[in-house]
Amino acid sequence: MQKIKLQDIGLKDYQDAWDYQNKLFKEIIDIKLENRKNNTDNQTPNYFLFTEHPHVYTLGKSGDINNLLLNEESLKEKGISFFRSNRGGDITYHGPGQIVGYPIINLDNFFPDIHLYMRNLEEVIIQTIAEYGLKGERSKGETGVWLDVGTPFVRKICAMGVRTSRWVTMHGFALNVSTDLGYFDHIIPCGIRGKTVTSMEAELNKKLSHKEVKTKILQHFSKIFKADCIV
């Protein structure tokens, strides 16, 4: 069973978290390159970061800037940062009340299949929110986890966007637990028009323990990825 080092880095500025992800990402890739060069088989580590970001909009590498509905001055007035990211996907919001998970893992340790990786990440969230009575679903052609797919009331509860290189992953998912959904009004979330965003607390109309939700995420991640998450 593969081991994954768990780190909860708490509330972290997006740039600082990105820099830290890159450090771990490069560490794994460097070991893989060294193994290839020297025909060795040194074990690569795997990491899973939990974090939460101050208010920020991030745009994926293939995203459309027109999906940001605020200008630079308005962003400053509202205290929201903006970053162009190297993850996949379009624009999304990160902020307080969101559980952000960044698995930085070597897929060669699991399965070298990015499609399966994304579906497994979605399954982790689907099984997690099911414990709270929420039926998460996939929406064809759209990553992430949704509620009421195929109805006029479809809404996204968890966004996802990743980057991979040499089968090493970074970035990940953002699950809305107690997020202020008003911040999504200033973007076209994930570049998808006509669909809204929701949170676990908005759906359940009650407060939730972020610590408890994180514990459940890790339990399902460990089971689905057949991994042992250690501190």
pLDDT at 194: 73
169: which strand partners?
A: 164
Domain boundaries, position 89:
2-230
Helices and strands, number each (H, E), in the chain: 5, 12
Q: How does pLDDT run across 62-108, given as a tens digit for each residue?
A: 889 999 999 999 999 999 999 999 998 889 999 999 999 999 999 99
pLDDT at 104: 98
pLDDT at 193: 75
The yes-or-no verdict on residue 49 having pLDDT over 90 is yes
163: which strand partners?
A: 170
pLDDT at 190: 74
Q: What is the CATH number of the domain that holds 14?
A: 3.30.930.10
Catalytic residue check, 229: no
pLDDT at 16: 97
**Which residues fall within 8 angstroms of residue 166, CB to CB, at 6 or more apart?**
29, 32, 33
pLDDT at 231: 79
Mean pLDDT score across all residues of the chain:
95
Residue in 177, 190, 217, 229 annotated catalytic = 190
C-alpha–C-alpha distance, residues 102 and 47, integer Å: 8
Q: How does pLDDT run across 195-219, given as a tens digit for each residue?
A: 899 999 999 999 999 999 999 999 9
C-alpha–C-alpha distance, residues 137 and 218, integer Å: 19
Q: Are 144 and 159 in contact (CB under 8 A)?
A: yes
Among 90, 112, 127, 102, CA closest to 50: 102
Query: How many domains does the chain contain in total?
Result: 1
Taking residues 115-130, what's their average pLDDT?
98
